[in-house]
Structure 1
Amino acid sequence: MTTKLLNTTCLTLLAAGLLAGPAAAEPLRIAIIEPFSGSQASSGELYAIAGKYGIEEINEAGGFNGAPIEVLEYDNGGTTSGAADKFKQAVAEGAHVILQGSSSAIAGQLTEDVRKHNLRNPGNEILFVNVGGEALELTGDKCQFYHFRFTTTAPMRVGALVQAMKEAGDLGTRVYSINQNYSWGQDMEAAIRAAASQGGYAVVEATLHDVNKIQDFAPYVAKIKAAEPDTVLTGNWSNDLLLLMKATGDAGLDVRFGTAFLDQPGNIANAGETALGHYLASPYNIAAGEKAFPEAYKAKTGHYPMYMEPQAVNGVRTLGKALEKVDFGGGEIDVTEIALALEDATLETDLGPITIRKEDHQAVLPVVVSRVEKGAAYTVDGTDMGFVPIKVIPGPDALYPVQDSCSMKRPG
């Protein structure tokens, strides 16, 4: 063969890809869609930090499919329309997994976007890992195979609060319910009413208010004071809880709160010492577990894991357990196969295992009830107060029944 003919043959083979090196592995792309601007930005940033921490753990262990997992970040601005737009952008940029936590309303938008996309694009599905949206409809009317929830719901939080506060003698017989007027807040009010017989209390008044629009909660605190409750139960979060705590502190209101999100940064500082004795039900408390995780997290992020960060990390870690069970050999990623593996994944934590209920993809996870006290192992907001674990309720005991409205269609 002449040199000219050899060179021509080599060029032909290269053009056909026959002499090229091995094809690059397809990286798994996880899109974090959170509010990084607006009133919910502080929550969105924490979800993103926690999500990236969990993804970095997987990458440090070797990544997935022969490549590091790639992270895409999008600012939804705290609105459902913003989330819908960013979902489209994430799809265009090759996302396989959506990771989101701030706001049940946005989670509801994204799960519907994912559902519609997957119906229209068989073989090119997207997985939604929900680490914060707690509205019951997400595992009820809106339940679908590609949505997995790695946090609690209102019945789980309220049930845990009522049980622990009653056992501690801190519940009383008069309860005031104050919540945001959308799916999550409505779930909370319903759960508070449903738990009344179990807790031995009467709901003396219930208030639903606009979401993240109220600048002064003093009139609401005045209503609470007038009702003379022993306990206030609330699922408020973001500015609505920060400002409620501030108004409570300013008024010197002497009433105990049972909350879902009191560990949100700023709440204890806003309430001051009126927060002493308040309760929190959450999926994790770093003071209840081993010290290795909070110390490792602080070394990477500059702060101890707080608020929703531990549950977000555990959601990503559970996804990591599923990824260990699938092997695409560096080739095209099959999201459906990942979802099937996620159904069977188990994450062992120092507070108990986390698994998935296949009927609705609700995570079965422990619920920790804590009380604000001085001298806590981890103080918050620059105060001398923190969250002392009072009771850990195992996942199966905290779980709510599968809702009749969930009719999940499985692939195949």
Structure 2
Amino acid sequence: MKKAHFLLTGAAIAVALACGAAPASAQTVKIAFIDPLSGMMGSLGTNELRSWQYAADIANQQDWTGGPKLEVVGFDNNLSPQQSLTLLREAADQGIRYIVQGNGSSVGLALEDAVAKYNERNPGKELVYLNYGAIDPAMTNAKCSFWQFSLDANSDMKMEALTSYLAKNPSVKKVYLIDQDYSFGHDVARAAKEDLERKRPDIQIVGDEFHPLAKVKDFSPYASKIKASGADTVITGNWGSDLALLIKAGKDAGVTANYYTYYATTTGVPTAMGAAGAGRVKYIGYFGPNTPGNPPQADQVFDGFKKKYNDDLSMIATYTGIALLSKAFKQTHSTDPVKVAKALEGMKVQSLNGMVQMRADDHQLQQPLVITTWVKADGKVVKHDQENTGYGWRTDAVLDAASATLPTTCQMKRPE
């Protein structure tokens, strides 16, 4: 990876940190990526690390920051909250002031709390946590923090939009819920039941299943239950290998229900689906690569990433995060985390899915959402396939940010 770095001696770095923030143009700002880079979720984490690094490369080449260069450094947490806290301390000890993480709300909640406590104990050495995928609603509600910024729509926001869409479909009559057994999975199931009861009380919930996170290697028993239930619709918050293996098992078992997912675009899932998922696997999220009206740079970024890594960009929140951080550096003429965090509040940037805004009240990004279906790529409506399968995501609906905007209970405690 080509990067232009301004190198500082150890003494110069020490002086810069002691003085708060060095002149912006004199710095290389390191960003710690704390997520799985090995194990069952390792391929997903590797893709996401490259996504952050690729976006940072674009920012460096185009001087988005107005001076400082960006470098994203990977830390393998093995999807463990405890190990993530150890890595957070290691990153802080190395002088890294910006943290990114997105796999697992159990990790995200631990980091959010740890960052807030660290900052209370270490004034002048504060950390900022950019959360690109841990979407437990508590992170921007009851447990919100000034130092955490959520770049993805939380699970309640996505379910609000999804159930409004499903409520208009009379063919949806029996829904099976299957999720990972931790806080995020339980939030997905809770929101699905509450929202469907409110919008379509005639829909029958025929299954409400939880399974261990990243430990199940054979989902055939679960697929058999889904088939036996007679469900016409499956709603799942599963991600990574848990989603890929679930869909594969459903294919093998002859499950004919439509799957509505949060994460079917993530690494490994498209290959597991192949032709068997065509027309049946759906995705609710903040970006569709084939959405009409995407900003022009979307195709450029997708094509460039594919050319460099022979892989697909699966998380555009990484691009959004670099765009926000860069604009804050440029706007404040500083890389000081306190100044940058304050600048991020209410900030708008143009991302790959259009104009987005970081809501100041709770640090929850407000952005449009899409509902897409896995279909055969035709080079026109579906220009981008995924994982060289010949299949990609057809955008069925584009929902403006207001369709998923929810009130917040956040009581933000800001530094003086």
Give the TM-score range, shorter chain: 0.7 to 0.9
Q: Distance in 1 between matches of 2:70 and 2:317?
A: 20
Residue in structure 2 matched with residue 361 of structure 1 by the alignment: 363
Q: What residue in structure 2 maps to residue 327 of structure 1?
A: 333
Alignment equivalent of 1:410, drawn from 372, 390, 414: 414
Contact 2:64 2:327 in 1 (8 A): no
Give how far 1:342 is off.
Answer: 0.6
- CA-to-partner distance for each residue in 1:126-145, whole Å, 9 max, x for gaps? 10011111111211232110
Q: Take 2:296 and 2:238, find their aligned partners in 1: how far apart are those partners? A: 29
- CA contact 1:374–1:386 (8 Å) conserved in 2: yes
One-letter amino acid of the counterpart of residue 396, structure 2:
I
- Partners in 1 of 2:66 and 2:28 — Cα distance? 7
Other-structure match for 2:9: none
The 1:186/1:283 distance shift into structure 2, 3 A limit, reads: same
Deviation of 1:109 (Å): 1.6
Matches within 5 A, 1:245-260: 245-260=247-262
Segments of structure 2 that go 5 or more residues without pairing to the other structure are: 1-14, 16-21
CA 1:29–1:380: 2 relative to 1, 3 Å:
closer
CA–CA separation in structure 1 for the residues paired with 2:221 and 2:411: 42
Query: Aligned residue for 1:10?
Result: none
**Residue deviations 1:282-329 (CA, integer Å, cap 9, x gap):** 11112112453233343243346433x21221122122222221114x
1:183 counterpart = 2:183: yes
* Corresponding pairs, count: 384
Structure 1 residue 149 displacement after superposition? 0.3
Give the Cα–Cα distance (whole angstroms) in 2 for the partners of residues 389 and 79 of structure 1: 35
Determine the structure 2 residue equivalent to 1:114: 115
The match for 2:403 is 397
Matched, 1:318 2:320: no
> Using the alignment, how far apart are the partners of 2:59 and 2:297 within structure 1?
17
TM-aligned CA deviation for residue 67 of structure 1:
3.5
**Counterparts of 2:238 and 2:376 in 1: how far apart (Å)?**
24
- The residue that corresponds to 1:270 in the other structure is 272
Taking the aligned partners of 1:164 and 1:43, their CA distance within structure 2 comes to 28
Give the residue type in structure 1 aligned to 2:287.
Y
Counterpart in the other structure of 2:3 = none
CA contact (8 A) 1:72 1:90 kept: no
Q: Does 1:306 align with 2:317?
A: no
| SS state at 2:63 partner | coil
Structure 1 partner of 2:301? 296
1:280 partnered with 2:286: no
> Could you say what secondary structure the match of 1:348 adopts?
strand
In structure 1, how many angstroms separate the alpha carbons of the residues matched to 2:172 and 2:341?
Answer: 44
Cα 1:171–1:290, aligned 2, differ >3 Å: closer, same or farther?
Answer: farther
Larger Rg: 1
Question: Which stretch shifts more, 104-113 or 68-77?
Answer: 68-77
State, as a whole percentage, how many aligned pairs show the same letter: 28
Structure 1 residues 51 and 350 mapped into 2: Cα distance closer, same or farther (>3 Å)? closer
Kindly state the Cα deviation for residue 72 of structure 1 after the two structures are TM-superposed.
Answer: 2.6
Which whole-Å CA distance do the structure 2 matches of 1:315 and 1:66 have between them? Answer: 17
Deviations along 1:316-366, one digit per CA (max 9) or x if unpaired, are 2122222221114xxxx4211100111131012464321111111111011
Q: Structure 1: how far apart are the matches of 2:395 and 2:70?
A: 35
Alignment of 1:208 with 2:214, yes or no, is: no
Looking at structure 1, the residues matched to 40 and 185 of structure 2 have their Cα atoms a distance apart, in angstroms, of 18
In structure 2, distance between residues paired with 1:66 and 1:257? 46
Residues 37-77 of structure 1: CA deviation (Å, up to 9, x unaligned): 11111121122111112222222233647432233321112
Tell whether the 8 Å contact from 1:132 to 1:312 is kept in structure 2 after alignment.
Answer: no
1:236 aligns with 2:238: yes
Letter in 2 for 1:319: L
Q: C-alpha separation between the residues in 1 aligned to 2:301 and 2:240?
A: 27
In the alignment, structure 1 segments of 5+ residues that lack a partner are 1-16
TM-score, with length taken from structure 2: 0.86
Shift of 1:389: 0.4
Deviations 1:167-205 (A, max 9, x none): 4x3751211110011111011001110121324522222
Q: Distance in 2 between matches of 1:91 and 1:171?
A: 53
- Which segment drifts farther, 39-48 or 263-272? 263-272
The residue aligned with 1:86 is 87
CA root-mean-square deviation:
2.2
Q: Which amino acid aligns with 2:147?
A: Y
CA contact (8 A) 2:66 2:330 kept: no
Rounded to whole Å, the distance in 1 between the matches of 2:273 and 2:72 is: 37
Distance in 2 of aligned mates of 1:276 and 1:369: 15
Q: Is the 8 A contact 1:31 1:97 kept in 2?
A: yes
Instruction: Name the CA shift for 1:37/1:171 in 2 (closer, same or farther; >3 Å).
Output: farther
